[in-house]
Amino acid sequence: MSASAPSQVHFRTCNLCEAMCGVRIEVADGRITSIKGDDADPFSRGHICPKAVALRDLHEDPDRLRHPMKRTASGWERVSWEDAFSDITRRLHALQQEHGPHSVGAYLGNPNVHNLGAMMFGPGLLRALRSRNRFSATSVDQLPHQLVAHLMFGHQLLVPIPDIDRTRYMLVLGANPLASNGSLMTSPDVRARLRSIQERGGKVVVIDPRRTETANIANQHVFVRPGTDALALLSLLHVVFADTADNVRRMGRLAAFVDGLDSVVSLVRDIPPERTAPHTGIAPEVLRGIARDFLAAEGAVCYGRVGVSTQPFGSLCQWLINVLNIVTGNLDREGGALFTQPAFDVIGGPRALGVSPGSHGRWKSRVRGLPEFSGELPVATLAEEILTPGDGRIRALLTVAGNPVLSTPNGTQLDTALGQLDLMVSVDPYLNETTRHAHYILPPASVLERGHYDLVFHVLAVRNTAKYSPPVFTAGPESRQDWEILLELQHRLETLRDGRSARATLQYQALKRLGPERLLDVGLRMGPYGSRFHPLKKDGLSLAKLRAAPHGIDLGPLKPSLPGRLRGRSKRIQLAPELLVADVARLRAAFPDDAAPRDGELLLIGRRHLRDNNSWMHNVPGLVKGRPRCTLLMHPEDASRLGLTDGSDASVRSRVGEVTVPVAITDDVMPGVVSLPHGYGHQRAGIRLQVAGAHAGASINDLTDDQALDAVSGNAAFSGTPVRVRPAAPPAPPSPSGPATPAA
């Protein structure tokens, strides 16, 4: 008997969420034997969460597709890559020839931003489609952040990052970093980082309709009614401006390149906490105390995430958070909010390797007239763009690493719409609630069979670092990388439309030879730490240098960078963008002084768990084990009023749908609020997710409303969906004579 091969050790970044935790993976005889935190990683310092161990399960998952699949009248059949590419591109081209370029739509899920190849090669395929019907998970998540960054700082990714490692006061709205690991604030081991604020004499304050895991370790938690955060922020600013007449002095050096201060001061003059308290539920003295503490701290930062983005005034919330940080002098300040200086600079680097600064309203959706942002339309309009007859109707759809049936509002309507497409193609490793409608599924190689570098999350991290992770395993000869699939579809579509030219062929062959790694190397060399800026030095940052540093390279803490980091024509901070200032009138009209809540109505909010931030993670046994997490959190007062008991089933109804779900009674939610987690609803027929199917749960997006949006950005307004809850009817007893016979 031959001896087993010695173990190999691989160091890698976990890419299952935004935290970029370093992992140490041991492999023997082609199988993973151990996954642990990498103690030598300068950013995560040995910390990992339970998701990291799931890298092995996802790689080995028997439900993961490994070959192209075609849906036929008799079921799913394996086909060759050549046949799939040829038929897909031929049919897409024919549809666009007959019905125009916008008859083909595309949807990109959030795993794309965790994928170097998809980030590098996805834009080329989208350009080749020449369609305005592009959608992504952006408009069910962080779109208000990006729109506000574009309007205020000149680039959609100039998102201020909390300097969590040096701040003395952190105000958190609608965010739960202990579950998210620090979304749009890439922050591994965020629990330790928050504890450090308190250990150095600082304070963490959470404003949220639910007492979250983060709120439980904070110095102070304050309940707020869903959808009213913008009112609370306006009143905070009222108190800040009332504190002193010298608002310019308080901004410090920022005042030299800030426009619009007087407009903001005037806007909040008549919105004291006493006026907003009946709507927000926050006592005026509590809000005034928060404002005083924020002003007194030597380094303070306000941070808001998905809970304040996914509501009808999401853009106002993200704007006012930035305004609070700016007018208190805490933007571009150590201990406040700062901008990163990433090694691969998608903001200030070469245009060919960068991300667009953003755009807004260049075109609008066909049915509802919703505005474009950075080349994408709000995904809340996708279903109606398929279902509504007329010129420009979407007849074919390409999805890449997305499950919008479970992740976008009114998922039942989208589920129906997808079944009416002439052609649907999914680049995805799973047969899930969305891809079950596809005519072709093109599965990419596993996450451990590709190299990894976080292009986006280094831009959003609380410290400047750089790390490249080579593949742990070699993909098989029948496998294709994501970027290879996307490039092949792009090339064939362009060839069918424009004919075969020597230039196009050479470009395709060059990109195929380069691949994402060589493009990454170019970006690193041309970045702020690369040899482009050190022409006489040989030690500028490059891919080779990252390969030689498997734990990653620490590039230092965030530093002040303004006004030089600003983009846009003026290179100044626009404190009062006209689009946002005008929207305050809509906010005030929505919450008049004499408004009262509708009798018997509850407001539904979502929630996230550390183990399941994406629906496809529900197919990992280790991440779904334990007590069921798909429950409806409800305050004891509401449960008693409605006749519900802990563990009993409740029927939850909204304008668009109804689900049945067990109740969990807790005072962690404020009265009048109920909460369901995101990403469940695996009961639909035709999926191949054995573990997820056994933990199906109910989809919150069978209740959320596709008509409820942030009017400024078009972002979905999940948070605060009005619902009615009642005890679920008991299941009907089986008929003693067996099932009824259908009528002839």
For the segment 158-216, what is each residue's pLDDT rounded down to a tens digit?
999 999 999 999 999 999 999 999 999 999 999 999 999 999 999 999 999 999 999 99
> Same structural domain for residues 479 and 431?
yes
> Could you read off the pLDDT of 644-695 as tens digits, one per residue?
999 999 999 999 999 999 999 999 999 999 999 999 999 999 999 999 999 9
DSSP, collapsed to helix, strand or coil, labels residue 573 as: strand
Rounded to 5 degrees, φ, ψ at 486 are: -65, -40
**Which of 605, 613, 616, 606 is CA-nearest to residue 695?**
616
To which residue do tokens 């666009």 refer? 96
Q: Is residue 150 part of a domain?
A: no
Q: How far apart are CA 727 and CA 196, in angstroms?
A: 45
Provide the pairing of β-strand 69-72 with 360-364.
unpaired
Whether residues 361 and 502 fall in one domain:
yes
Name the domain count of the chain: 3
Are 360 and 493 within one domain?
A: yes
Contact 494/464 with Cβ under 8 angstroms? no
State the CATH number of the domain containing residue 395: 3.40.50.740
φ, ψ dihedrals at 244, nearest 5°: -155, 155
DSSP string for 653-665: E-SS-EEEEEEEE
Coil/strand/helix, residue 640: helix
* One domain for residues 528 and 623: no
- How do strand 649-653 and strand 658-665 relate by DSSP bridges? antiparallel
Q: Say if CB 466 and CB 555 are below 8 A apart.
A: yes
Judge contact between 583 and 361, C-beta under 8 A.
no
Select from 338, 357, 391 the last residue of a domain.
338
Residue found by looking up tokens 């940080």 in the block: 325
Cβ(719)–Cβ(227) below 8 Å? yes
User: What average pLDDT score do residues 44-51 get?
Assistant: 96
In a domain, 575, yes or no: no
Pairing between β-strand 423-427 and β-strand 161-162 as defined by DSSP bridges: unpaired
CA-to-CA distance for 445 and 489, rounded, in angstroms?
A: 16
According to DSSP, the residues that pair with 195 across neighbouring strands are: none
Distance CA 381, CA 236 (A): 34
Conformational region of residue 691, where left means phi above 0, alpha means psi within -120 to 50, and beta covers everything else: alpha
Predicted TM-score (pTM) of this structure: 0.96
Q: Is the pLDDT of residue 743 over 90?
A: no
Q: 718 pLDDT exceeds 80?
A: yes
User: Are 111 and 92 part of one and the same domain?
Assistant: yes
Q: What is the pLDDT of residue 612?
A: 82
Q: Please report whether residue 590 resides in a domain.
A: no
- pLDDT band at 435; cut points 50, 70, 90: very high
For residue 739 the two structure tokens come to 């099932």
Residue 1 covered by a domain: no
Which two three-digit tokens encode residue 650? 């409740």
735 Cβ contact partners less than 8 Å away, ≥ 6 residues apart: none
Residue 329 and residue 350 in one domain: no
Query: Tens digits of per-residue pLDDT, 536-570?
Result: 456 799 999 999 999 999 999 999 999 999 999 99
Inter-residue contact 409 to 400 (CB < 8 Å): no
The range of the structural domain enclosing residue 289 comes to 159-338
pLDDT in tens, 226-266: 999 999 999 999 999 997 668 889 999 999 999 999 999 99
Q: Is 42 within the bounds of a domain?
A: no
b/e map of 613-640 (b: 16 or more CB within 10 Å)?
A: bbbbbbbbeebbeeeebbbbbbbeebbe
Contact by Cβ (8 Å): 85, 70: no
Q: In what order do the strands lie in the sheet with 31-37?
A: 8-13, 22-28, 31-37
Q: Which of 309, 338, 367 is the last residue of a domain?
A: 338
- Strands 337-338, 161-162: pairing is antiparallel
Closest CA to 562 of 359, 348, 356: 348
Mean pLDDT of 431-459: 97
Largest CA distance in the chain: 89
Same domain membership, residue 447 and residue 396: yes
Are both 73 and 185 inside the same structural domain?
no
Cis peptide before 6 (omega within 30 of 0): no
In a domain, 562, yes or no: no
Closest Cα partner for 91 from 331, 408, 423? 423
Asked if residue 465 lies in contact with residue 22, where contact means CB atoms within 8 angstroms, the answer is: no
Q: What is the pLDDT of residue 593?
A: 82
CATH of the domain at 667: 2.40.40.20
330 shares its domain with 366: no
What confidence score (pLDDT) does residue 401 get? 97
Residue type for position 385 = E
**Are 130 and 279 contained in the same domain?**
no
Domain match, 635 and 552 both = no
Instruction: Name the helix (H) or strand (E) containing 53.
Output: helix 50-60
Residue 461 lies in a domain: yes
Scanning 526-620, the segments in alpha helix (DSSP H) are 543-547, 578-590
Cβ-contact 341, 559 below 8 angstroms: yes
In tens, the pLDDT along 286-313 reads: 999 999 999 999 999 999 999 999 999 9
pLDDT higher than 70, residue 402 = yes
Please state, in angstroms and rounded to a whole number, the distance separating the CA atoms of residues 193 and 170.
11
The distance in angstroms from the start CA to the end CA of the chain is: 67
User: Does residue 51 lie in a domain region?
Assistant: no
Q: How far apart (Å, rounded) are the C-alpha atoms in residues 656 and 412?
A: 8
Alpha helix stretches (DSSP H) within 244-336: 247-251, 261-268, 273-280, 284-296, 306-309, 314-327
pLDDT of residue 736: 57
Residue 49 pLDDT > 80: yes
The Cα 114–Cα 648 span in angstroms is 39
Tokens coding 207: 């404003």
Sign of the torsion angle spanned by Cα atoms 313, 316, 317, 318: positive
The full length of the chain comes to 744
pLDDT of residue 354: 86
Residue listed under structure tokens 């050096």: 253
Predicted confidence (pLDDT) at residue 721 exceeds the cutoff of 60: yes
Mean pLDDT across 107-111 = 96
Residues 304 and 359 in one domain: no
